[in-house]
Amino acid sequence: MNAHDKVNILMVDDQPAKLLSYEAILGELGENLIKALSGREALEILLKTDVAVVLMDVSMPEMDGFEMAEIIRQHPRFQKTAIIFISAVHLTELDRLKGYQRGAVDYISVPVVPEVLRAKVSVFAELHRKRRELEALNRDLEARVLERTEELQESETQFRTLANSIPQLAWMANPAGDVFWYNQRWYDYTGTTLEEVQGSGWHKLHHPEHVTRVLQGLEHSWRTGASWEDTFPLRRHDGEYCWFLSRAVPISDSHGKITRWFGTCTDISRQMAAEEALRKNERLAAMGRVAGIIAHEINNPLEAITNAFYLLESHPSLDEEARALARMASEELARISHITRQSLSFYRESQQAVPVSVATVLDDVLELQARHFRISGVELDKAYKSNRMILAYPAELKQVFLNLVGNALQAMPAGGKLRVTVRETSERGQLPRGIRVSVCDTGSGISPQDAKRLFEPFFTTKSVKGTGLGLWISKGIVQKYDGTIKFRSLKLTGGSATCFCVFIPGAMAVQPPGTLAMAKVM
């Protein structure tokens, strides 16, 4: 509907001549003129047609103008339809007219002055046209609002789906920084509910050492509108902390006013662990290089001295006492040689894995620790139930077992019992079969808190002596063989029992005697 559409004007009179005269008067308005000869006919037309103005003679047979107006008004659709009565003015009729004052009602007295009729009809026609325009505009607006609402709902649904599908934890806060929404992943990770963590309830999930800095950073952003980024540990539902990289950006309306903050937390604990492991590996590689250099620098003079004393032992110019001294020196030098070969050789001593007897490696380790057994008064109980060989690098196995035996001995400073067992087995009854070595002590035991971190690098319970690398390296070595390293520590009456179990798959079918001796070149 636009401003130039014609509107319908319904003229009602029982006298056709009068209708014709109205038609002549109103013709120049350029609207649609509809004629009705009775109230009934007029009603029928009203029901079918959108009428702007009804021009009606008051005195008609059958149904007079007032009666008809009454009926028209009862219908909700016509309550606003303008009605102009044409009548000789009587006082009584004027009173009745007042009853309609609320609606769009007017009257014209006879004789009809054409200009007056045209003016009045024209006003109502225009009013109707405007109303129709407004109604159309309104409908259009309503449709658009509906459409927009649907769009928003769709967009909201998409947002929720997206927010719940991303691997990050996500949240939204109002401009003052009160969090009012988290995605599902947040709740899954933290094990909290919105009630617990909305507003500033999330503070308690932060690590005490970091929360102050995190808050300062965020408050700075709330204040300045600058986006925020930080890295911090966040407590998981089980109480463990994982590291997250967190970012928050302000979301602004079309006027640039911040309406909310949107934040994400990305779990970076794996990257951090990988970086850490890389650093440790580099440190270890450096340590290995240093060990190699030291070995070389010690071994060269060591050989010369050993040879010198060897020659002195039987030198004809020396008396028996001097030769005895040379022999003692030789014995002690042999101990140094043994140590440098054992401790400065934590590297791959051959290019390829060779058949290794686990029992032999264990015996080497136990021999190396023999002095400690004596000093601590630890009783050794060996139970080798397999003499099978595995393909391995002997120095690596030696390092693992030296670590386990060394730890066990350190846990028993006041004596105890160490049981070393070797048996063929399979992991959870599955192939491949392999060798299981257990090292069990009756020492101080492992507390549940320590147990969690035992295989972490630089974790040590020995305040001074330990590097904290032993078990971490051991685990790395065992994993290289697709094996496992596990432990159990039980509190018993009068002490505790701690057992480390190393499983290495792939036992060889036979034990070829002497193979190891040939492969071992040092």
Partner 1 sequence: MAEAVAIILCVDDEPNSLILRKLVLQKAGYEVVTASSAAQALDLLGSQKVDLVLSDQLMPGQTGTQLAQQIKTNWPKLPVILISGVNEIPPDASFADLFMSKVEGPQAMCQKISDVLKAR
SS3 348: coil
Distance CA 245, CA 267 (A): 6
Q: At a CB cut-off of 8 Å and minimum separation 6, what does 504 contact?
A: 358, 390, 392, 397, 434, 435, 437, 478, 481, 483
| Residue 350 touches partner 1, criterion: CB under 8 A | yes
124, two tokens: 């109502």
CB-nearer residue toward partner 1: 342 or 511: 342
Distance CA 263, CA 426 (A): 49
By CB under 8 A, name the one of 349, 364, 427, 456 that touches partner 1.
349
x/- mask, partner 1, residues 280-299, rule CB under 8 A, reads -----------xx--xxxxx
Closest CA to 163 of 136, 190, 184, 139: 184
Residue recorded with tokens 């003679």: 57
Q: At a CB cut-off of 8 Å and minimum separation 6, what does 99 contact?
A: none
Closest CA to 170 of 185, 157, 154: 185
By CB under 8 A, name the one of 59, 164, 198, 337 that touches partner 1.
337
| Residue 368 touches partner 1, criterion: CB under 8 A | no
| Residue 351 touches partner 1, criterion: CB under 8 A | yes
By CB under 8 A, name the one of 310, 384, 455, 459 that touches partner 1.
310
72, two tokens: 């028209």
Beta strand 495-505 pairing with 258-267: unpaired
By CB under 8 A, name the one of 34, 344, 420, 478 that touches partner 1.
344
Distance CA 409, CA 403 (A): 10
Please state the closest distance from residue 472 (CB atom) to partner 1, in A.
Answer: 22
By CB under 8 A, name the one of 174, 269, 306, 515 that touches partner 1.
306
Stretch that binds partner 1, among 62-70, 303-311, 446-454, 477-485 (CB under 8 A): 303-311
Please state the closest distance from residue 305 (CB atom) to partner 1, in A.
Answer: 9
Neighbours of 231 (CB within 10 A): 14
| Residue 323 touches partner 1, criterion: CB under 8 A | no
| Residue 334 touches partner 1, criterion: CB under 8 A | yes
Question: Is residue 110 within 8 Å of 86, Cβ to Cβ?
Answer: yes
# of chain residues touching partner 1 (CB under 8 A)? 30
| Residue 340 touches partner 1, criterion: CB under 8 A | yes
Please state the closest distance from residue 363 (CB atom) to partner 1, in A.
Answer: 19
Please state the closest distance from residue 274 (CB atom) to partner 1, in A.
Answer: 28
Which positions lie near partner 1, rule CB under 8 A? 291-292, 295-300, 302-304, 306-308, 310-311, 314, 334, 337, 340-341, 344-345, 347-351, 521-522
